[in-house]
Structure 1
């Protein structure tokens, strides 16, 4: 019985080794998400102090504009209806995150720059009304970063080719049918804002 257990143990040991040193190894997918983080130290005490209560107010309007087929934002404003706006104190860590995101983040290459869990803890949140308006009361003088994600649907029409007709004289007519389409979008809207003195009301457009 002991001999049998010993043989089984050897078999599993050899099997596990064979998996590691197999002749064929599956390569990693090229579209694997690459997560990047700032290398600057995050000072939680500094962030906490920056979010302490003050007497100033930040009032804003969050909106975007529909994108054209060339990627340009055109047309009327689309106001953020009941979305969450997040406020972060501007620290060396956040500045590093923002710079790194501009340099490295790419949807095409699937690279994303994240805040650490500890840094993300130090934030304030507000919900917009149907006109995109939001308020952060009780703010201290200092610099802040605001961010939100605004989803909307772009509707349009196009002419779809349905066939060609010919007449008795050799001419032809192409026929089209108008069809509707809709495309969902989500825009990241953000802005930096500075409160310069106690008691003031700072207004900002978040787009």
Structure 2
């Protein structure tokens, strides 16, 4: 009986080992990275990113209050917008991401494919432009955050009769968004207007 008690105490201390707990948590929350199993054609991507006469102009925003009559919008200020040429490799990546990506699996472009992009930044009103674009299909992507403020009543005290006193407390909820859209320039000189939301 005494040996059983000692073994159970030893087991308890071993299970409370912070290093082992950290290892278990790391294994549980491990993220798997997946890449497309398809050869990237750098020449095709470079050719599509050569200068042309087209223009892609747009505005980046997220609706923050869908119940509002005015439809409140949060415009992306100073946000980086990436433009990728849509190649065969890119479509394989996009379809793989749609199929496999979740909380524990992310699908990345190869380093070479990721480097074949154009980028710009939005102004104070969420506007952005990609100038001198050739006809072709492109993919726009941006990451932005929005914040909503809520209030709630919080008990701050009670009197001797048991009456509770409340005070308003404000708190913020921050949402992170990956905003994406496919666009296509059909003819040389076309101006494409995009709502990236």
- Short-chain TM bin: 0.7 to 0.9
Q: How many residues align?
A: 172
Q: Partner residue of 2:196?
A: 206
Counterpart of 1:35 in structure 2 is 33
Structure number having the greater helix percentage: 2
- The equivalent residue for 2:54 is 56
**1:185 — aligned with what?**
175
Match of 2:116 in 1: 122
Distance 2:42 2:65 in 1: 38
Tell me which of 102, 113, 131 is aligned to 2:125.
Answer: 131
Distance apart, 1:173 and its partner CA: 5.2
Gaps of 5+ in 2: 1-22
- How far apart are residue 86 of structure 1 and its match? 0.3
Report the alpha carbon displacement of residue 78 of structure 1 after superposing the two structures with TM: 0.5
User: Counterparts in 2 of 1:153-172, with a 5 A limit?
Assistant: 153-162=147-156
* C-alpha displacement of 1:66: 2.6
Task: Report the Cα offset of residue 127 of structure 1.
Answer: 0.9
Q: Residue 137 of structure 2: which of 112, 135, 143 is its match?
A: 143
Q: Out of 66, 85, 89, which is 2:85 matched to? A: 89
User: What is aligned with 1:113?
Assistant: 107
Please, which runs of 5 or more residues in structure 1 have no aligned partner? Answer: 1-25, 69-73
Secondary structure in structure 2 of the residue aligned to 1:205: strand
Q: Which has the larger radius of gyration?
A: 1
In structure 1, C-alpha distance between the alignment counterparts of 2:113 and 2:65, rounded to whole Å: 32
- Per-residue CA deviations over 1:87-140 (Å, capped at 9, x if unaligned) read 000011111111111221112xx2111111010011001111001100001101
Q: 1:134 aligns to what SS in structure 2?
A: strand
Q: Which moved more, 1:92-101 or 1:43-52?
A: 92-101
Q: 2:187 matched to 1:197?
A: yes
Q: Please report how far the alpha carbon of residue 200 of structure 1 lies from its aligned counterpart in structure 2 after TM superposition.
A: 1.1
